[in-house]
Structure 1
């Protein structure tokens, strides 16, 4: 008894192979035109489903990451950043530090590419199957303070805590009170030995104590962040000012 293409598609949908179900007519035409064996057809079907699921997962992780914009590492101009070598950039791109739960700390004045590097590494991590979460310090503190009673903050903080890589942008750009510093410590303590962290800041760790206001909490945070970390100092002129556009 013959089986129609529609019946096969229905069976594939029942097995939750939705992507393959939609592509089945095209794959069958290719199989007939190229005289594929049964094994070749089965391989094509499974490969297509696998690739589509991977693409959908990457799209989902990109939405979860909440990058303010997308900036690839290939677009990072090393000529504008003399303090970073091509070899260093390629080593970071390999993500061995992420597998080993190392942290990266990018320090430098505004406009030298700290956020660009952080986002580029985050995009690379997503392409390699990792979960990434990006948040600025200005967004993070209100989320920590409202997590107990705001549903949106709960969802976002859950994703941050479950991420393989957490990027915190512009850390220590403003002073914290005792409650905020304590909440931030508990987050860092939770991520310690579970996730890698990328931090960007225009102030070095030696200045963080003044902004946190509590030397004990500062020491505890630094102890966890710097245990396994690479601190990268970026120098040079502001990229934004160098390439600024004017109306007239």
Structure 2
């Protein structure tokens, strides 16, 4: 599932609620910012535990990648995402993004990797466009006066 739309419309909230629902039905769920997952895998390249770290991310029934496609990826990050998505084939993946999936392609340095990865993700998922005003202004502390 891909939840996308402008900031503050509740994409993360919905993704977390879906994860919570899956946990209540007995699923193992991991929620993480995409940048954190990529940093975790990068650490595996550095200390030679990449396979172990990838296996840990693959084992979850549901993986929620929050804030996907926030910035340009380097070649290693793109390759790591490709390997992660490929290894998780047949398992649930929930992605939240401020960008439309059609805007993800230019963020990948290698168009072949982009096409292979995004074809797997975009063409096998439900896409939910979330639109509306940000709910965050309603959360601002009120002025005491």
TM-score (norm 2): 0.89
Q: Distance between the aligned counterparts of 1:227 and 1:236, measured in 2?
A: 25
Q: Distance between the aligned counterparts of 2:106 and 2:123, measured in 1?
A: 21
Q: Distance between the aligned counterparts of 2:116 and 2:124, measured in 1?
A: 14
Q: Distance between the aligned counterparts of 1:155 and 1:113, measured in 2?
A: 33
* C-alpha distance after superposition, 1:71-127 (max 9, x if no partner): xxxxxxxxxxxxxxxxxxxxxxxxxxxxxxxxx100011110000000001011001
Bigger relative CO (Cα 8 Å, ≥ 6 apart): 2
Q: Distance between the aligned counterparts of 2:115 and 2:143, measured in 1?
A: 47
State whether structure 2 residue 119 is matched by structure 1 residue 232: no
Q: What's the counterpart of residue 187 of structure 1? A: 84
Q: Distance between the aligned counterparts of 2:143 and 2:67, measured in 1?
A: 29
* Structure with more helix by fraction: 1
* Structure with more strand by fraction: 2
Q: What's the counterpart of residue 209 of structure 1? A: 105
Alpha-carbon distance change, 210 to 227 in structure 1, aligned in 2, over 3 angstroms: closer
Deviates more, 1:181-190 or 1:237-246: 237-246
State whether structure 2 residue 62 is matched by structure 1 residue 165: yes
Gaps of 5+ in 1: 1-103
Q: Distance between the aligned counterparts of 1:135 and 1:156, measured in 2?
A: 14
SS in structure 2 of the partner of residue 147 of structure 1: helix
Q: Distance between the aligned counterparts of 1:144 and 1:213, measured in 2?
A: 18
1:126 corresponds, among 8, 13, 23, to 23
Shift of 1:150: 7.0
SS in structure 2 of the partner of residue 236 of structure 1: coil
Q: What's the counterpart of residue 44 of structure 2? A: 147
SS in structure 1 of the partner of residue 126 of structure 2: strand
Shift of 1:159: 3.1
Structure 1 outlier segments of 4+, above 2 Å? 153-159
2:118 corresponds, among 222, 237, 247, to 222
Q: Distance between the aligned counterparts of 1:212 and 1:204, measured in 2?
A: 15
Shift of 1:156: 5.6
SS in structure 1 of the partner of residue 8 of structure 2: coil
TM-score (norm 1): 0.54
Q: Distance between the aligned counterparts of 2:142 and 2:38, measured in 1?
A: 35
SS in structure 2 of the partner of residue 126 of structure 1: helix
